[in-house]
Amino acid sequence: MKKALAAAFTAAAVATLAACTSTPEPTTSAPPNTSPTDTAAPQETFDVRVAALPIAETGALWAAIDEGIFEKHGINIEIVPAQGGAQAIPALLSGDIQFAIGQPFGPFRADAQDLGVVIIGDYADSLATGKDVNAVVALNSSGIDGAADLAGKNVSVNSLGAAGDVTIMKAVEDAGGDPKSVKFVEVAFPEVAAQLDAGNIDAGWAPDPFMSMVAGGEGHIVVHPYQATIPGLSVLTNITLQDTIDNNPQLVAQYSAAMKEALEWASANEDAVRAALVTNLEIPEEAAAGITLPTFTFDLSVENLQTLAGLAVGYGVLEAEPNFDRMIQQQ
């Protein structure tokens, strides 16, 4: 008994120690498997962990992986579902993941703290015309018809102090309302419809499938805040660390090439993206067919992000504009 206990403790201690010592330095992240692939490709093979949100946009990635695009570029990719940038950036810093797909506000805030977080390319853009990828929705009975009606109302966003509330404030201001009078609360996207029904919020910001659920039921779209303020604004971007760019340029180059091809392929193969949503996110097929997909592209519009940062500073969401020269390094 004593022996077993001692053995168990030793095992636990060893495991803890091993876990501590194996905490990778950022510089040694993603040790390249230097043996070249059999297919005579000139590139190295990398094991890569990428954090992505479990949302509809990630369908492009799942589908492109199944298509073998990352494999072709020597990227042995594993998607790690992260809950928002709040989790993805610490995970990047820990060295556990090499890339993250996240909203640009994560890098904005990280840049203010000199964390060395860099946007290396776009991932998905909102749509400049038509039905956009996200919207502020309200019930038909709310009397909220346009952005100006949001003034003085309780409006939900998934996380405060990011692109959602900044563009909504701008949309309200452009429509002639007082942006400072909007009362923002945090509600996760899946909860928006239920919170509207319960009367806890007057309007809520949500992407598909939740946007269409409300708009197709007893509610309607009030405004597409991205489209109304910064048409085509980047929804999600590819993020990594400056350390990774400096110490592992080959990895970043191959990943970027793979991602570029994956996103081009995804925008030409929407059916495959929707099919990936059904299998990976267990979205029912009918719902997946109705989801508004973004523009998948690796080419970043820096001006759009600068406009967003400028608005954020204007509304006091950010203290200062990030240093775009070091934060954005399009690969």
Partner 1 sequence: MERLSSNSTRSSRPIILGLAGVLFFLLVWQLIPALGILNPAYFPNATDTLAQLAKDLGTGALWKDIGYTLIAWGLGLAMATIGAIIFGTVIGLVPFLRRATHTTIEFLRPIPSVALIPVAILVYGLRLEAALLIIVYASFWQVFVQVLYGVADVDSVARDTARSFGLSRSQRFRSLVFPTALPYLITGVRLAAAVALILTITAQMFIGVPGIGRSIIFAQQGANWVQVYALIVVTGILGLLVNIGFRAIERRVLHWHESVRGEELL
Nearer to partner 1 (CB atom), residue 148 or residue 289: 289
Tell which one of 82, 187, 228, 251 touches partner 1 (CB under 8 A). Answer: 82
Tell which one of 148, 185, 213, 313 touches partner 1 (CB under 8 A). Answer: 213
62 forms part of the interface with partner 1 (CB under 8 A): no
Nearer to partner 1 (CB atom), residue 282 or residue 325: 282
51 forms part of the interface with partner 1 (CB under 8 A): yes
211 and 135 Cβ atoms separated by less than 8 Å:
yes
To partner 1, the closest distance from the beta carbon of 225 in angstroms equals 21
To partner 1, the closest distance from the beta carbon of 66 in angstroms equals 18
DSSP letter, residue 186: E
Stretch that binds partner 1, among 11-19, 36-44, 296-304, 317-325 (CB under 8 A): 11-19
Nearer to partner 1 (CB atom), residue 95 or residue 225: 95
**Strand 219-223's sheet: what is its strand order?**
183-186, 154-157, 203-207, 134-139, 219-223
Size of the site for partner 1 (CB under 8 A): 38
277 and 291 Cβ atoms separated by less than 8 Å:
yes
Nearer to partner 1 (CB atom), residue 177 or residue 207: 207
Which of positions 93-132 make contact with partner 1 (CB under 8 A)?
93-97
Q: Which residues lie below 8 Å from residue 52, measured CB to CB, with a gap of 6+?
A: 58, 61, 79, 80, 81, 82, 100, 101
Give the DSSP H or E segment for 173.
Answer: helix 163-174
Tell which one of 19, 21, 268, 286 touches partner 1 (CB under 8 A). Answer: 19
- Measured CA distances, 51 to 74, 97, 172 (Å): 18, 7, 33
Tokens encoding 162: 């990011």
Calculate ∠ Cα 108-113-114, nearest 5°: 95
Interface residues toward partner 1, by CB under 8 A: 5, 8-9, 12, 16, 19, 23, 49, 51, 54-55, 80-83, 86-87, 90-91, 93-97, 188-190, 193-194, 197, 209-210, 213, 281-284, 287
